[in-house]
Amino acid sequence: MAQDEATAAKIVRGLLPDETRLRAALGSDATPEIWAKIQGFHAQLPKTDDAALAKLLAAKPAQTLVKVHGATSEELALYAEGSLAFAEFPGAARDLAKAGILKPGVTFFEVEFLEPGAEAGMKFHLFYWDGASWSMLGPVWRVLK
């Protein structure tokens, strides 16, 4: 919102996981092919272009409300109607959890930017604590289809 591309890029760059950080999020059913696709998804992000990187998690100026929704991989796999997982996470996150691609026992977060009074806004997917810092898987289901 401050239009500080350098700071925004630094924040986003810090969220992008490498192989070690991915180990905190991916379960034992993530095959080598799945690993390669997820690593490829992150490798194609513009890590050296601050302007492009800053835009990856940009909110619209009017979206001043931030909501964070968390669910464990087990809650995502259940995706019980009426649950927070069901209400706030995409069905594709459920599919990753059910398939064992998301590591058991990990809490994942959706971060949502909203205009005050709005019911829906811009969501960013699958943030998690990797043991040392925050990381973000993002919409990796797009490369796993």
DSSP codes of every residue in 19-39: HHHHTTTB-TT--HHHHHHHH
* 26 and 102 Cβ atoms separated by less than 8 Å: yes
pLDDT in tens, 45-83: 888 888 899 888 888 889 999 999 999 999 999 999 999
pLDDT in tens, 1-48: 557 888 989 999 999 999 999 999 999 999 999 999 999 999 998 888
Query: What is the helix (H) or strand (E) element at residue 122, kind and residue range?
Result: strand 122-129
Report the Cα–Cα distance between both ends of the chain, in Å, rounded: 33
Domain boundaries, the chain: 5-143
